[in-house]
Amino acid sequence: MSVASDQLIDRLTSELGTDSVITDRATLEAHAVDGLVPRAVCSPGDAAQVAAAIRVCGEAGAAIAPRGGGTAVALGNVPHRVDVVLRTDRLAALVEHDDANLTATMEAGMTLAHLQTHLAQRGQLLPLDPPRPDRATIGGIVAASTNGARRMFYGGVRDLVIGMKMVLPGGEQVKAGGKVVKNVAGYDMCKLFVGSLGTLGIITEVTCKMTPLPERALTIIARDGGSTAEGSGAFRLIDALFASTLQPSAIAVLSPRAGELVRAGGPGVATAVAVEGFTEAVDRHVRDITGMAAAAGLSAEVLEGPAHERLWAAVADFPRSREGEALVRLTVPPGAVATAVDALSRVDDSPVYVAHAGAGTIWIGVEAARAATVFAALTSVAGAQHGHAVLASAPPEVKRGLDVWGSPPPALSIMREIKQRFDPQQLLNPGRFVAFL
């Protein structure tokens, strides 16, 4: 930094107020990013204060790590430096809910659980499935592009976000998109910021498309009992589903060990198929999918009510590393999920994975001590299927010395130029994004 810590903290306190700038050691250590402890933690109360904090940090040359609920803090490379953690949790208001047009605008610090509670009163929901929705904030979900199993039916974050407001590294407040679904004026800046991990600007407000609450929702779980080659029956069932006119909202294939972790334990591979909609359509799905499971040599049971909800909450929480564990995320075309899962057994004798078959995302838990070696092998597996691998979570000592985002993308030169244009001082999450941008 070009300004001493005491001067920086004094200036932040002057702009935000004493209660909004925290410097006690316990709080700073609790907000460390990959072991890097900040000099201050700021909690602006509105977008104007976010802009003021960014201007002060820019003048001081202080690096900023934006933070929502902290559920995605393990994602990304070890940053070059962390001087100030800027929290968005005080920006938590519902700005507008246009239930007639199925849109809602909320400040970035609102948690998904809080939003869903409000929307449910109007018979609507935001169909996103991040880990820990009680902590995950809307801005954090958008910045990390946290997609869940229902992406196959409702679309991902990029599809659901139609507008947002951001504060750029220079302190300018800008907006993109709008509050209506049909919005085609100008460049779609929203898609640029979705998944940018806070490296281009800090999101302060988001507008999303909603969907009506389904009349009924349940899950059919099909198991192979461990009597067939791992996953073979599961993917016969999935092939039959894809060939049919049925429209499940999510499909998750759980390895035996993963099934235990998400409380869907039992011998062999489990395939969870979520169905939601009108009662008549759900009933038809149950009949047809149960028949398909039997034809694939699988047993089937139906979970409804709290059991259904607990299962999918646990599946959503699976991308959270446990002690001594790292997580790898493979993204491949949906048609290549079976091949990628089959290849896992050649990398690990007893893989722990949850494969979102309809979305093409596979989450794999690996021992932290083996993470770098396994990640390299899984990068090859993903590349062979025209996909990519990301080391989504690992201890800092594992992440140092490698790019957790995998091989540089073809558009890297464009990404470098965008980062330079938006953040020439390298203030926002420096080094944390692809190719250490």
Residue 35 Rama label (left phi>0; alpha psi -120 to 50; beta): left
Choose among 250, 248, 239, 205: nearest CA to 115: 205
Instruction: Work out the pLDDT band at 183, boundaries 50, 70, 90.
Output: low
On the question of pLDDT at 212 being above 90, the answer is yes
CB–CB of 67/84 below 8 Å? no
| Residue 324 falls in which region: left (phi positive, over 0), alpha (psi -120 to 50) or beta | left
* Alpha helices (H) in 297-391, listed in sequence order: 306-317, 337-347, 371-384
Mean pLDDT within 287-305:
94
Counting residues of the chain whose pLDDT is more than 70, the rounded percentage is 93
Q: CB under 8 Å to 420, separation ≥6 — which residues?
A: none
**What local confidence, expressed as pLDDT, does residue 349 receive?**
76
Q: Could you report the per-residue pLDDT of 122-147, keeping only the tens digit for each?
A: 999 999 999 999 999 999 999 999 99
Query: In whole numbers, what is the pLDDT of the chain averaged over residues?
Result: 92
Name 331's bridge partners: 361, 388
Q: What span, in angstroms and rounded, lies between the C-alpha atoms of 185 and 171? A: 24
Given a cut of 60, whether residue 185 has pLDDT beyond it is: no
Q: What is the pLDDT of residues 218-233, one digit of tens each?
A: 999 998 865 545 568 8
pLDDT average, residue stretch 90-97: 97
The C-alpha atoms of residue 204 and residue 244 are separated, in whole angstroms, by 42
Mean pLDDT of 60-78: 96
Of 166, 160, 224, the C-alpha closest to 200 is 166
Please tell me which residue, 164 or 266, carries the higher pLDDT value.
164
What is the dihedral angle through the alpha carbons of 278, 284, 286, 288, rounded to the nearest 10 degrees?
-150
**Whether 258 contacts 353, CB under 8 Å:** yes
pLDDT of residue 228: 47
What does the pLDDT average to over 349-373? 91
365: β partners? 327, 352
User: Which pTM value belongs to this model?
Assistant: 0.93
- Domains, the chain, ranges and CATH? 94-212 (3.30.465.10), 216-317 (3.30.70.3450), 325-399 (3.30.70.2740)
